[in-house]
């Protein structure tokens, strides 16, 4: 599947954030790259990008991006980039040939499911499909600038334009086109003097060849600074929604790590470096536990909880900057197990040095074993537990580290070790019972 992306305009309303709009970084990734990556995940393997304003810079970026992604990106220069978007589309006619193609804008971010839904919808050889957002109360839509769409009960587009008073949805800027779009653009220009895509859709709609496909998914037109900030918030919110978060992570760690990740994505910091830094903080906390005394104990607890917060940022940065990998997830999991062992051993040593009781060694040993078994069973049987437990209460690393933090700050390390030993081993037994065939 091929896709045409329009990236020719100047984007004057976003100039405060960057001179070249398609290259303005949003959470560390240029807008144009985000669009291309979304389309790739939807199945597109060939891209045709129409450039214009600062074309050399955009094309240089795309050449490097093509090498990084291992995908084909062909650039076409539109010297008349000040004109309407239909002019850019017409320039790609010879390159795209007679096959259907997706069409998108360089400043429209969207869920890849939108493109997949269009590709999965049957269409005639002369039809054009437009993804239409039926959510008329979508908070991400700029009502003064959005293109509105009116459809009949069969989904045929009856009218399209920014000034419609009666409408059923919004133009998301994502199309599935056939070569019929080119003839419609030429007719619209010749007969109406209208070189916009909306003008071509009106021509096709009059012939019953323009269909609106209702898709209630995330999308946003990043046309000005307000929309840019809203896009940031929306992407961060999507990153926040990690299905296996425990209660401490969901309500305490994740809100803090999201704020940290928003800052980290601006820099050339890898997720693995964040994982390693979090581990080193845990190691420092364990050393403080072993030093002895309340001040070192409490400081160690605070640092351990800080490490737990930072540990959430590695995955968030990976998802926001498209750096996720199987190795990264495995590397983070290995460091987490080491961190848990060091933290609990540090606490055990602290308690033993103060009490010299065998109970401290037994509690510490059981706490370490229990924490490992909870992690192990989650890794081996996580999917089965999701099916059996559903969205019930999840006991995991976030609770364990938070208990370490509380026990250290409240100067109750021995009751803390006993509590962790009972809780973690009890959770392991519970999982064995629930997941029994």
- Band of the pLDDT at 123, cuts 50, 70, 90? confident
**pLDDT score, position 376:** 84
Give the whole-number percent of the chain exceeding pLDDT 70. 95
Residue 398 token pair: 């976030």
Calculate mean pLDDT across residues 37-55: 95
pLDDT at 36 over 70: yes
Least confident of 23-27, 137-141, 243-247, 426-430: 243-247
**pLDDT score, position 375:** 85
Q: How do residues 269-280 score in pLDDT, each as one tens digit? A: 999 999 999 999
Mean pLDDT taken over the chain: 92
**pLDDT score, position 435:** 75
C-alpha span between 257 and 36 (Å, rounded):
27
Least confident of 147-151, 192-196, 296-300: 192-196
**pLDDT score, position 242:** 55
Q: What is the pTM of this model?
A: 0.88
- Band of the pLDDT at 250, cuts 50, 70, 90? confident
Its sign, for the CA torsion 75, 77, 83, 88, is negative
Q: How many residues does the chain have?
A: 437
**pLDDT score, position 384:** 64
Residue 119 token pair: 């590709």
pLDDT at 386 over 70: no
Where along the chain do its domains lie?
A: 2-227, 241-434
Quick one: which of 327, 328, 304, 299 has its CA closest to 316? 328
What's domain 241-434's superfamily in CATH?
Answer: CDP-alcohol phosphotransferase transmembrane (TM) domain (1.20.120.1760)
pLDDT at 55 over 90: yes
How many C-beta atoms lie closer than 10 Å to residue 426's C-beta? 13
Give Cα 191 distance to the centre of its chain.
43
DSSP of 95-147: HHTTS-EEEEETTEEE-HHHHHHHHHS---TT-EEEEEE--TT-TT--TTTPP
Calculate mean pLDDT across residues 10-17: 87
- Band of the pLDDT at 422, cuts 50, 70, 90? very high
Give Cα 306 distance to the centre of its chain.
23
**pLDDT score, position 240:** 73
- Band of the pLDDT at 395, cuts 50, 70, 90? confident
User: Do the Cβ atoms of 107 and 21 come closer than 8 Å?
Assistant: yes
Quick one: which of 315, 300, 331 has its CA closest to 260? 315
C-alpha span between 389 and 387 (Å, rounded):
6
**pLDDT score, position 437:** 60
* CATH-assigned architecture of domain 2-227: Alpha-Beta Complex (3.90)
**pLDDT score, position 202:** 94
pLDDT at 304 over 90: yes
């Amino acid at each position: 599947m091929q896709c045409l992306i329009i990236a020719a305009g100047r984007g004057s309303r976003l100039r405060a954030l960057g001179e070249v709009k398609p290259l303005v970084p949003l959470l560390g990734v240029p807008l144009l790259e985000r669009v291309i990556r979304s389309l790739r995940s939807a199945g597109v393997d060939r891209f045709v990008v129409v450039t214009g304003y600062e074309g050399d810079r955009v094309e240089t970026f795309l050449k490097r991006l093509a090498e990084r992604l291992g995908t084909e990106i062909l650039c076409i220069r539109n010297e008349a980039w000040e004109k309407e978007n239909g002019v850019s589309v017409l320039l790609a006619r010879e390159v795209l040939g007679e096959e259907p193609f997706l069409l998108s804008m360089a400043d429209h971010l969207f869920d890849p499911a939108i493109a997949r839904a269009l590709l999965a919808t049957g269409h005639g050889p002369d039809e054009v499909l437009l993804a239409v957002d039926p959510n008329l109360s979508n908070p991400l839509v700029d009502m003064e600038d959005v293109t509105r769409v009116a459809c009949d009960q069969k989904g045929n587009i009856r009218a399209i334009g920014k000034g419609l008073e009666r409408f059923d949805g919004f133009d998301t800027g994502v199309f599935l086109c056939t070569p019929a779009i080119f003839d419609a653009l030429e007719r619209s220009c010749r007969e109406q003097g209208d070189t916009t895509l909306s003008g071509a859709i009106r021509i096709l709609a009059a012939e019953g060849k323009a269909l609106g496909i209702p898709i209630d998914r995330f999308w946003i037109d990043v046309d000005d600074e307000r929309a840019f900030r809203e896009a940031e918030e929306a992407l961060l919110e999507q990153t926040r929604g990690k299905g296996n978060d425990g209660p401490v992570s969901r309500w305490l760690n994740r809100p803090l790590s999201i704020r940290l990740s928003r800052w980290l994505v601006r820099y050339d910091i890898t997720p693995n470096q964040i994982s390693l830094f979090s581990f080193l903080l845990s190691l420092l906390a364990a050393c403080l536990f072993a030093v002895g005394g309340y001040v070192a104990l409490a400081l160690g607890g605070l640092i351990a909880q800080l490490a737990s917060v930072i540990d959430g940022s590695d995955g968030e940065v990976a998802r926001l900057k498209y750096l996720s990998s199987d190795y990264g997830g495995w590397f983070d999991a290995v460091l987490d197990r080491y961190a848990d062992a060091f933290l609990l051993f540090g606490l055990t040593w602290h308690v033993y040095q103060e009490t010299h009781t065998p109970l401290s060694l037994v509690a510490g040993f059981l706490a370490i074993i229990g924490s490992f078994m909870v992690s192990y069973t989650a890794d081996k049987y996580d999917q089965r537990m999701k099916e059996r437990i559903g969205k019930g209460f999840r006991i995991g690393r976030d609770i364990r580290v938070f208990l370490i933090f509380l026990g250290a700050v409240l100067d109750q390390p021995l009751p803390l070790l006993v509590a962790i030993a009972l809780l973690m081993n009890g959770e392991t037994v519970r999982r064995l019972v629930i997941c029994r065939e």
